[in-house]
Amino acid sequence: MVSIIGWSRIRSPWILYMGTGHCNACDIEVLAVLAPRFDVERFGILLKGSPRHADVLVVTGAVSRQTAPRLKRIYEQMPNPKFVIAVGTCACSGGVYWGCYNVLGGIDKVIPVDVYIPGCPVRPEAVIQGVAKLLAKLQGGGKK
């Protein structure tokens, strides 16, 4: 935890969140991460409303046919350097929806992913750890 505070002094990542074809369980765990028990806002992590202000795109859900173009567009609107976190098994690989028409699979079918956080749903601790790994990458000069 101490190292996160250190990193966030260097850089306070602004996050854009997007859900694509998901069941909501990962969403509410991501939201729980912002709520008082886990409270990542104290690390300077802020949820933002527009792709143009965001450093990190956090995505839950398997990609569906309709959301694929929208996901791509949002990714393209983000300024460089940008990073993507796939939250939940569905975002990593399509998860439980194998064989469902309309589901393409994990989000890496559409955009490049930096950090995969599996879980069905993810645990908030895993989300924090995933974000910490990304911050390490940022600090290490990870480029896009």
Q: How many residues appear in the chain?
A: 144
Nearer to another protein by Cβ, of 44 and 137: the residue is 44
Q: Does 5 bind another protein (CB under 8 A)?
A: no
Residue 107 tokens, joined = 């989000």
Q: Residues near 10 by Cβ (< 8 Å), separated by ≥ 6?
A: 139
Question: Shortest distance, CB of residue 105 to another protein, whole angstroms?
Answer: 9
CA distance linking residue 72 with residue 111, whole number of Å = 6
Looking at 2-10, 78-86, 102-110, 132-140, which segment touches another protein (CB under 8 A)?
102-110
Residue among 4, 8, 13, 26 that touches another protein (CB under 8 A): 26
Query: Cβ of residue 55: shortest distance to another protein, in angstroms?
Result: 15
**CA nearest to 64, candidates 110, 24, 13:** 110
Task: Give the max Cα distance, the chain.
Answer: 45
Which residue ranges make up the site for another protein (CB under 8 A)?
16-32, 34-37, 41, 46-49, 60-62, 64-67, 95-104, 120-121, 123
